[in-house]
Structure formats: structure tokens, C-alpha cells
Amino acid sequence: MAYRVCPWWLGYFLVSPVRRLWQDPQTILKPFVKEGMLVLEPGCGMGFFTLEIARLVGPSGKVVAVDLQPKMIAVLKKRALRIGLSERMDARIAKADGLEVDDLAGKVDFALAFALIHELHDENRFFTELHHTLRQGRRLVVAEPKGHVSEIKFAATVESAERAGFRVTDRPVIWGSRTVVLERC
């Protein structure tokens, strides 16, 4: 699955509280994540969004956080434990050729792919996997950094998602990102 993976040590910069000034996790996630949901976050890194998802799903929900890099997952687990959210989280290490989420088939209520797809070697496989995990009519938010992903490349990414069985429902504005909300058909 990995193509041009962000180095693990950059994860410390990506979870900086200063980032909240332009990309606030609660503002981004609140329209999509509700108490009791099962949420999948591939490419979670050290948990900038993961910990907010865990808060929003509440004690009856769960976030499945997946990353290719063991160091990212280790730091995420420590951060979740420190703030008392580890019980709401299932942190997994992905393989190079897949997310390792077959057990979630048709169970996921929402998925977030934030600044991830441009790092993948096979985005078609990725969207097929996500389509398999999401329940019918449930949504996936894809946000890619404008600095790494051109409008043309993002349009091709959206086409890959549509081929996998998603349809575009919205294009919200997230600072510095090209964003689309997709629904599993």
C-alpha cells in the first residue's frame, strides 16, 4: 500500500496543537461522527484526528486507527492511554498491500482519509477496501493537501472512488485541502 510515505518523525509536527488554528479536528469531524459509531481512520499517524474521533464516538463507539508505520501507532497508543481514550480505540498496523480490515466488512459507519491517498501506490485497491468496510449509505471524507495534489490528480482520485462504488455528495472547504465527501452506494 505504501508509495511515498511521510517519515514517522514528521508525525510530531502533524499533531502539534498549533495545527488546530487552521484544521480543527472537532469542526471537521462533528458533522460526520456521532456517539456509538464505528469509525475507520486509515493513515491515522500519531492521532491528530483519531483522538477527537474517540471523544465523539463516546464510550459506546470505537475508532479503528490504521497506519503503515509501527512508530506512529506506538505514539498514538501512548497519547490515547494518557488521556483515557484507549478503550475506544483499536490501533492496527497495515501491511504494504492492504489495510488489514477484512473483519470490518459492512460494519463501518464513517471513514476519514486525510492526507493519505497521495501516499498510496494503488488507490483503486484502497477505495475497494473502504467500500467493503462501509455500511450501505455511509460516508467517507477524503482530504488531500493542495501542496502535494493537483486539481487534476484529485479529480482522478475521485474517479477512482466512483469506480469503486462511491458517489460524491459534498465538497466541503477544509483549509489547505482538496476535499470530497463520498457515500457508499
**Domains, the chain:** 8-184 (3.40.50.150)
Instruction: Using DSSP, state whether 103 is helix, strand or coil.
Output: helix
Please report which confidence band the pLDDT of residue 128 belongs to, taking 50, 70 and 90 as the band edges.
very high
Among 18, 19, 75, CA closest to 45:
75
- Model's pTM, two decimal places? 0.90
- Give the pLDDT confidence score for residue 97 in this predicted structure: 85
**Angle formed by the axes of helices 123-133 and 151-163, nearest 10°:** 50
Per-residue pLDDT tens digits for 43-68: 999 898 999 999 999 999 999 999 99
Determine phi and psi for 20, rounding to 5 degrees: -60, -20
Asked if residue 18 has pLDDT above 80, the reply is no
CA 12 to chain centre: 17
Q: Rounded to an integer, what distance in angstroms lies between the CA atom of residue 32 and that of residue 131?
A: 17
- Give the pLDDT confidence score for residue 2 in this predicted structure: 38
Among 149, 131, 143, CA closest to 172:
143
Please report which confidence band the pLDDT of residue 14 belongs to, taking 50, 70 and 90 as the band edges.
low
Neighbours of 93 (CB within 10 A): 13
